Amino acid sequence: MFELQAIRNMQKSNQLTSTSFESLFSTFLEEKLDNHIKQTLQNLNVSKKLDPSLSLSNLHGTNKVSLLPMATKEPLQTLTTTGEGKYNHYIEEAAKKFNVDPKLIYSVIKHESNFDPNARSHAGALGLMQLMPATARGLNVNNVFDPKENIEGGTKYLRQMLDRYNGDVSLALAAYNAGPGNVDKHGGIPPFNETRRYVPKVLSTYLSI
């Protein structure tokens, strides 16, 4: 009996130790990523344009990370490079049509497909702005591999997300990546590793242009 009780006590102790270690390790990782995000924004010298509450916990919690104010809608002439600049005309057309900053559209394309009009993701997203087939149909995009159609459809969807979240760019980007249902469900940027990485990366590119 005493031996059995001792074994149970040892098992409980090991479970507590394991749980404590996992909790500490998780906290350590979040702090490291949080510091990395802040350092990136400091290096870009744009932190003053973001809500000062920017942190990893806020990125996937209920607090918002808004741009204050929205970046000015300047032409993308300075971004004209081989492979990327040739889509600037389509980006600026879509930006004007749907009232979205062209630099935000550019940043989304940069991280969605790196300007590959034939890009396909493992999840089935297609084209420059990585539209899912069902989403593309809902946006009246007939050919997702046509750069003009894809950019127009992706920009229209981005506009819908911006309207849905009252202009909050971080939530709009999270919804673009993970779907608005997940943003609504979690009351903010959902705690998905991909989305946690995606939002600050796109924001960093957007604010550095």
Angle between helix axes 169-178 and 102-112 (nearest 10 degrees) is 30
The angle, 0 to 180 degrees and rounded to 10, between the axes of the packed helices 88-98 and 147-164 is 40
> Which among 31, 74, 93, 112 is annotated as catalytic?
112
Whether residue 131 contacts residue 153, with contact meaning beta carbons closer than 8 Å, is answered with: yes
- Residue 171: what are its φ and ψ, rounded to 5°? -70, -35
d(CA 96, CA 107): 16
Best CA proximity match to 145, nearest among 125, 175, 122: 125
Q: Is residue 7 classed as helix, strand or coil in its secondary structure?
A: helix
* Contacts of residue 190, Cβ cutoff 8 Å, sequence gap at least 6: 60, 174, 178, 182, 183
Q: Is 112 designated active site?
A: yes
The residues annotated with a catalytic role in the active site are 112
